[in-house]
Structure formats: structure tokens, C-alpha cells
Amino acid sequence: MHELGLMDAMLRVVKRVCEEERLERVERIVLEVGELSGVEIPYLYDGFRAVAHGTEFEGAELAVETVPGVLHCIDCDIDFPLKDQELFCPECFGKNLSIKSGRDMTLKSIEGN
């Protein structure tokens, strides 16, 4: 499961931030996940529970915010939102596309004290 590895890596970043910010207790971790990242959000919650189990992060709340996917048609030079997973340009119906946003998973914020 790909998401388990992602959460493992994410938790390592959280740990480092906690050390830097001297946070003793993390209450909430907010992630931004792009619609085009290929990440299955339900698996993120499962992955988080698995990697946080038995650590100081067990019991922290994980919140996931989705970032809309935006595509760019190279032929028409326009940007358009991803809709219904249809991967073609609404103008020319072409597939000469690049991803403008929504490809990444990022750690948005950590709340704690």
C-alpha cells in the first residue's frame, strides 16, 4: 500500500517540525492532497492510524483537504479544471495536456502545544 509509505514519510516530517517548534503534543495534522496525486484518501487515514500506532502521534487528528486538479492544454494554451476524471481538453478535445496543479500531497499545518 503506497499510502502507508506516504504516511510514514509524512510522520517523519511532522516529528522533525515538532522538534524544531518544541511541540510536545500534536492535536491535529492537516494535509493537502491534490486530486491528481493518485492518493486514495481513505487509505491515508488507515495508513496514518497504522504508522501513528504506539507513537506520540497516536490519537492526533488527521485532516485532509483536497486541492482541485487543474490541467493545461499545450495546444490551446489554456488551463481548465479536472472534471469527472475526463482527461481531455474542453476546447479541442485533445490529450496534449500537462498538470498545472493538484499533483502533490503536502503537509499544510500541525496544531499542537
Residues that bind Zn ion (CB under 5 A): 73, 75-76, 89, 91-92, 94
CA–CA distance, 112 with 78 (Å, rounded to integer): 41
Minimum CB separation from Zn ion for residue 70, in Å? Answer: 14
Q: Which is nearer to Zn ion, 89 or 105 (CB)?
A: 89
Q: Which CB sits closer to Zn ion, 19 or 77?
A: 77
Q: How far is the CB of 79 from Zn ion (least distance, A)?
A: 11
93 residue type, one letter: F
CA-closest candidate to residue 72, choices 104, 97, 106: 97
Least Cβ distance, residue 100 to Zn ion (angstroms): 13
- Which CB sits closer to Zn ion, 28 or 95? 95
Q: How far is the CB of 83 from Zn ion (least distance, A)?
A: 14
In this complex, which beta carbon is closest to Zn ion, that of residue 31 or of residue 89? 89
DSSP-based three-state secondary structure for 49: helix
Residue nearest to Zn ion (CB): 89
